[in-house]
Structure 1
Amino acid sequence: MTFDVAQLVEQGWPFVGAAVGAYGTAVLTRTADEGATATVSLGRRVLQRLWRREESRPYLQRAVQGVADDPEDTEAQAGLRAEIRRLLREDDELARDLAELLPAPVRPNESYVASGQGAVTARVNHGVISTGGDVTVER
């Protein structure tokens, strides 16, 4: 089975970018952080799966470092995305693993409607949705 690597990278980028922004290069080796948002946690898991390929670690670390040094640097972001694309193109099993890990891509022209007091709609949710006024959420 082949995967659209560019689409996988695009799907994963918001999570990867958030994780690098939160942890810098420590994201590559950091264990689970209970205080991390679902987005950051998923980005950390994506990067750590890429990190398993030992021969690619220096390149991935350099690319992550570029984004960690300046998270707003679009060239650094492009460099990390390019490195992720390269890793996924070289390893179908890794691409399959990430495709299963990431949420399904948004489909064009797909819409949802929620109506009524407290109504919520979400195609994918990685956290809590609460519309109550006096709610306590524990993790």
Structure 2
Amino acid sequence: MDAEIVQLAEAAGPFLMTAAGAYGAAVLSRTEDAAADATVNVGRRILQAVWRHRDEAGQAALEAAVTDVGNDPEDSDAAAALRQQIKRALRDDAELRAELAALLPATAPGAVTINATGDRNNVAHTIGTAVSGDIAMPRP
């Protein structure tokens, strides 16, 4: 598979999972919500772009994958199935690849992007010790 397609699908992954987790299959027809965070809106726009570029069978497969992620956002198999749908769409459509690349935020080479949602999420990159929770107890 073309490295560009894999890179685009991987870069889009966090946005797709957040949007599908927030709205389920309704994300495919939902309009932009000013109250939704930027990650959800980018994911929604990506999914809608892919939807527009697919035939009826492709739309049905995409909708099923988005529904599965919406039903269980923590299911890694559902996330993988959704990424596979995106890769298929990108592989078949150079115009979609360009559209998706334009929707994704630009990152500097070597940059790390980390998205976290929900209460009490800790995110760290290259850290020795991270403590999370209401009560942190030292080890004996």
User: TM-score normalised to the size of structure 1?
Assistant: 0.73
Identity across the alignment (%): 50
Tell me how far 1:69 sits from its aligned partner. Answer: 1.2
- Establish whether residue 60 from structure 1 lines up as the match of residue 59 from structure 2: no
Correspondence 1:9 to 2:9: yes
Runs of 4+ deviating beyond 4 Å: none
**Match for residue 120 of structure 1?**
none
Q: CA deviation at 1:105?
A: 4.0
Q: Which residue of 1 aligns with 2:31?
A: 31
1:69 corresponds to: 71
Q: Residue 21 of structure 1 corresponds to which residue in structure 2?
A: 21
Amino acid at match of 1:24: G
**Following the alignment from structure 2 to structure 1, what is the Cα–Cα distance between the partners of residues 83 and 107?**
17
Aligned-pair Cα RMSD in Å = 1.7
Q: Which residue in the other structure is 1:115 paired with?
A: none
For the pair 1:91 / 2:55, whether they are aligned, the reply is: no
Question: 8 Å contact 2:21–2:71 — kept in the other structure?
Answer: no
Gaps of 5+ in 2: 113-140
Q: 1:17, 1:39 → 2: CA distance?
A: 10
On the 8 A contact 2:61/2:85 being kept in 1, the answer is yes
User: Alpha-carbon deviation of 1:104?
Assistant: 2.2
- Counterparts in 2 of 1:14 and 1:98: CA distance versus 1, 3 Å: same
Counterpart amino acid of 1:84?
Answer: I
**Residue type at the aligned position of 1:32:** E
How many residues align? The count is 109
TM superposition score normalised by structure 2: 0.73
3-state SS in 1 of match to 2:63: helix
